[in-house]
């Protein structure tokens, strides 16, 4: 069970790092993906990070 909990926390960390990368990419000039696409991608990654963090936290409380 500890491996599953660690997996959820690790996945949420990766999703948060990807969200930060997309936010940083918005500031860069000359990026190919349009800024609205990068904002949408960052919001989806952030919400996925929050959801996986909450699932991992609930499993941690239950264990």
The C-alpha atoms of residue 28 and residue 44 are separated, in whole angstroms, by: 20
CB 19 within 8 A of CB 42: yes
Q: Note the pLDDT of residue 33.
A: 85
Q: Is the pLDDT of residue 52 over 90?
A: yes
The C-alpha atoms of residue 41 and residue 32 are separated, in whole angstroms, by: 14
Q: Is the pLDDT of residue 15 over 90?
A: yes
Q: Is the pLDDT of residue 55 over 90?
A: yes
Q: Is the pLDDT of residue 8 over 90?
A: yes
Q: Note the pLDDT of residue 29.
A: 84
Burial group, residue 1, by CB count within 10 angstroms (0-12, 13-18, 19+): exposed
Q: What is the mean pLDDT of residues 14-21?
A: 96
Q: Is the pLDDT of residue 62 over 90?
A: yes
């Amino acid at each position: 069970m500890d491996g599953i909990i660690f997996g959820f926390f690790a996945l949420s960390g990766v999703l948060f790092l990807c969200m930060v990368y997309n936010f940083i990419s918005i500031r860069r000039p000359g990026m190919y993906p349009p800024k609205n696409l990068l904002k949408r991608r960052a919001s989806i990654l952030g919400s996925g990070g929050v959801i996986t963090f909450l699932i991992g936290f609930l499993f941690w409380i239950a264990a």
